[in-house]
Amino acid sequence: MKLLKACLCESMRLYPPVVWDSKHAVVDDLLPDNTPVRAGDRVTYFPYGMGRMEGLWGKDWFEFRPERWFVDNEEKSCELKRVCPYKYPIFQAGPRVCLGKEMAFVQMTYVVASILRRFEIRPVSQKRPVYVPLLTAHMAGGLNVLVKRRCQSKTETR
């Protein structure tokens, strides 16, 4: 299940469900690069872009590599890294972090494992789908897939 969680994290790094978000500053402040922010200013951040920053993810930022989520960058380590939520703001960070983050991972893991246990899923076309980065992202025209039931053993419970 750790590999599945790493795959989920890597998928959301490259294709975050919320592409951009913003907040309003309550008080005057300075960003880490010393950019001043006045009370009432809107500060917008871009998880889609952040997931593609070489400075955050390395020269292979464009590759789907679930192993980047394991300690020592190796799947065999079996220990998932703790990644700073400000580097990976999929569930936001700090006092605004999503309270449902862990429940979301439980649900995603359960749903994906349940589906993949019972079905093989393959894209209908080899053509890369067009990602539409609106506030909540989707693929233009959806993603058509072929679903085939896997053979089940007699000992498997339903």
Pick out the residues of the known binding site for heme: 98
Residue 150 to residues 65, 118, 123, 156, Cα–Cα distance (Å) = 26, 5, 16, 12
Q: Is there a contact between 140 and 132 (Cβ–Cβ < 8 Å)?
A: yes
Q: Does an H or E element contain 8, and which? A: helix 2-14
Q: Does an H or E element contain 114, and which? A: helix 101-118
Q: Which of 138, 125, 121 is nearest to 16 (CA)?
A: 138
Binding site feature residues: 98
Q: In the structure encoding, which two tokens stand for residue 140, read together?
A: 């233009």
Q: Give the number of other Cβ atoms within 10 Å of residue 105's Cβ.
A: 15
